[in-house]
Amino acid sequence: MCLGVPGRLVETYVAHDVLMGKVDFGGITKQVCLEHVRDAALGDYVLVHVGFALTRLDEEEALRLLELLESLKMADELEAPSP
Amino acid sequence: MKYVDEYRDGEAARALVAAIARAVTRPWVIMEVCGGQTHTIVRYGLDELLPPHVELVHGPGCPVCVTSLEMIDRAHAIASEPDVTFCSFGDMLRVPGSRGDLLSLKSRGRDVRVVYSPMDAVDIAAANPGRRVVFFAIGFETTAPANAMAVWLARRRGIANFSVLVSHVLVPPVMTAILQAPGNRVQAFLGPGHVCTVMGTAEYAPIAARYRVPVVITGFEPVDLLEGILMTVRQLERGAAAVETQYRRAVRPEGNPASRRLLDDVFEVCDRKWRGIGAIPKSGFRLRHEFRDHDAERLFDVGAIETREAALCISGQILKGVKKPRDCPAFGTQCTPEAPLGATMVSSEGACAAYYAYGRHREVARA
């Protein structure tokens, strides 16, 4: 229920004084309320829940985790007992 | 898909499991708060990959499961009115109330609609001024900004025929209730990632400090959960009880300030009854008085509601992490997703429904 789906912001517009936009979820585009992620620029990834963008995803933090995972994988290979 | 596939990487998951196995020396019981997290854990069998010392118990974070029977019966009564168009998220429609579910009303000719977003329900109201359009506003803090925006927008656009039946629930009070419950086994929490995207992390610090439990705000993909478990185990092993954030690509310490302001404008905190758990003080949101013209609970007098729960169901103990679905004699036999007896089987995110969906009832039958 608290599902949050990451998607790429492709268009913004204003409807009834509220900032809206179109967000691409791997090929499917949906209309999303952007009123609370006004710092998101076209091309940014936003986290969407029930048609409402909760936040802009932080690319640097995403990279941090991926780098950590790479180093863990390396460590795991080094530590794995030889067959 | 970016921000999804990389967090489902099998090699990274194996490396994290190995790191957890190296970190753990004693038995620990960790609760994942969110139903979405439970779903990922059972879907990928993460609990079965972990070293035996690490036990995951499944939390109350499934809003469809914990919405009280009274509220479901109230929704049923409102949706039965001939001039009402009742809008809801899809997974609420099949939840059994005392007088049947919302879907059966639809089959009896009532206007019950599934919407993707609460703001769609506002548009339906604008397009159908002759109908009373009611949206069933359930959910945790994650869903509250979208629901608040719908109410705010309806007032701003002057759409008088739109109202919401609010049954919002809040995470920190139920975590406290779990820790205070007799027989509590939970020693640490994987905290609710998307709730904290909205609310921030500050309100978890008093819980961690008072009950000496680590709280690691965690995401929803397999790699997120395993990293969250690793961070939690490391805290437990060194005797720490701090709030940490694993899900840093989405959670900032202050949450989303614009969302928090809107929530404060539209809602106020109230006592709330949880299905399977009971009443918890200050554990929900209701509309503020200023928005009373859009409050379905005030607009529709449905009379007294008498409810009855199945006596066999142990969902309350499952939601508190005291028992597992396998401990229930009705699991997978008298109680299935097609004919659920109680809270944790009614939504796909409930622990019982997740166990059933991924075949664990067959293990019970074999045992």
A1 confidence band (pLDDT: 50, 70, 90): low
Residue B35 forms contact with A (CB below 8 Å): yes
Q: Which two tokens stand for residue B294?
A: 């859009």
Q: Provide the pLDDT for residue B367.
A: 55
Among B18, B198, B249, select the one facing A62 at the smallest CB separation: B249
H-state helical runs in chain B? 10-23, 35-43, 46-49, 63-66, 69-79, 102-107, 118-127, 144-157, 171-180, 193-199, 205-211, 222-237, 257-266, 296-299, 315-319, 343-346, 351-357, 360-366
Does B284 contact A at CB distance below 8 Å?
A: no
Contact A49/B at CB under 8 A: yes
- Containing H/E element for A74? helix A59-79
Instruction: Please name the member of A49, A58, A72 whose beta carbon is closest to the beta carbon of B143.
Output: A49
B344 inside domain: no
Beta bridge partners of B198: none
Count CB neighbours of B234 within 10 A.
Answer: 17
Residue B359 placed within a domain = no
Question: What confidence score (pLDDT) does residue B180 get?
Answer: 95
Q: Assess if residue B364 is contained within a domain.
A: no
B342 within some domain: no
For A3, which residue in chain B has the nearest alpha carbon?
Answer: B36
Rounded to the nearest angstrom, the minimum Cα separation between B11 and chain A is 7
Question: Given this model, what pLDDT does residue A76 score?
Answer: 63
CA dist., res. B75 & res. B69, Å (int): 10
Grouping H, G, I as helix, E, B as strand and the rest as coil, residue B350 is coil
| A-chain residue closest to B140, CA distance | A2
Asked if the structure places residue B63 within a domain, the reply is: yes
Asked if the Cβ–Cβ distance from B3 to A57 is below 8 Å, we say: yes
Q: List the end-to-end C-alpha distance of chain A, in Å, as a whole number.
A: 44
Structural tokens at position A36? 């609370």
pLDDT digits (tens, 9 = 90+) for B192-247: 999 999 999 999 999 999 999 999 999 999 999 999 999 999 999 999 999 999 99
Q: Residue B273, SS3?
A: strand
Assigned token pair, B26: 């004693």
The per-residue pLDDT for range B61-84, each reduced to its tens digit, is: 999 989 999 999 999 999 999 999
ipTM of predicted complex: 0.92
Q: Note the residue count of chain A.
A: 83
User: Cβ of B223 under 8 Å from any chain A Cβ?
Assistant: yes
Residue B163 has pLDDT above 70, yes or no: yes
Which chain B residue is nearest to residue A58, measuring alpha carbons?
A: B249
Please give the mean pLDDT across all residues of chain B. 93
CB contact under 8 A, A57 and B256: no
> What is the number of helices (H) and of strands (E) in chain A?
1, 5
Indicate which CATH number applies to the domain containing B158: 3.40.50.11740
Greatest Cα pair distance in chain B: 66
Residue B199 CA to its chain's centroid (Å): 15
Optimal mutation site among B117, B169, B198, interface A, most CBs of chain A within 10 A: B117
Residue B350 lies in a domain: no
How many Å lie between the alpha carbon of B121 and the closest alpha carbon of chain A? 12
Query: Do B311 and B298 touch, CB atoms closer than 8 A?
Result: no
The model carries a pTM of: 0.93
pLDDT in tens, A47-80: 999 999 999 999 888 888 778 777 777 766 655 5
CB B341 within 8 A of CB B360: no
CATH number (domain holding residue A59): 2.30.30.140
**Which of A6, A36, A59 has the CB atom closest to B258's CB atom?**
A36
- Judged by a CB distance cut-off of 8 A, whether residue B14 touches chain A is yes
**Number of domains chain B is built from:** 1
Residue B222 lies in a domain: yes
pLDDT at B303: 82
Query: Tell me: the pLDDT tens digits for A5-20?
Result: 999 999 999 999 999 9
CA distance A45 to chain B (A): 9
Write out pLDDT tens, residues B287-330.
Answer: 999 999 999 999 999 887 878 777 888 988 898 888 999 999 99
What is the extent of the structural domain holding B197? 1-330
Residue numbers of the domain that contains A28: 5-79
**Which pair of tokens denotes residue B333?**
């036999």
Tell if the CB–CB gap between A45 and B61 is shorter than 8 Å. no
| Rounded distance between C-alpha atoms, residue B176 and residue B192, angstroms | 14
Q: Mean of the pLDDT values across residues B336-350?
A: 86
| Residue B58 β-bridge partners | B32
Please judge whether B143 and A65 are an interchain contact, meaning their C-beta atoms are less than 8 angstroms apart: no
Cα(B344)–Cα(B31) distance, integer angstroms: 15
The helix (run of H) or strand (run of E) holding residue B169 is strand B162-169
Instruction: Say yes or no for a CB contact (<8 Å) between B149 and A18.
Output: yes
Q: What are the φ/ψ torsions at residue B312 (nearest 5 degrees)? A: -70, -25
Contact indicator for B227, B13 with CB cutoff of 8 Å? no
Quick one: pLDDT at residue B95? 86
User: Would you tell me which residues 53-92 of chain B have a C-beta closer than 8 angstroms to some C-beta of chain A?
Assistant: 61-64, 89, 91
pLDDT exceeds 50 at position A83 = no
Q: Which two tokens mark B98?
A: 């005392």
Q: Distance (Å) from the C-alpha of residue A51 to the closest C-alpha of chain B?
A: 5
Q: Using alpha carbons only, how large is chain A's radius of gyration in Å?
A: 18
Distances (CA, A) of B118 to B29, B65, B300: 37, 19, 19
pLDDT tens for B105-143 read 999 999 999 999 999 999 999 999 999 999 999 999 999
Tokens 């640490």 belong to B188
Confidence check: pLDDT of B265 > 80:
yes
CB–CB contact B117 A16 (8 Å): no
> Which residues from B are below 8 Å from A59, CB to CB?
249
Distance, CA of B277 to CA of B286 (rounded, Å) = 19
In a domain, B119, yes or no: yes
Query: Is B119–A51 a contact, with Cβ atoms under 8 angstroms apart?
Result: yes
Distance CA(B214)–CA(B242), nearest Å, equals 5
Domain count, chain A: 1
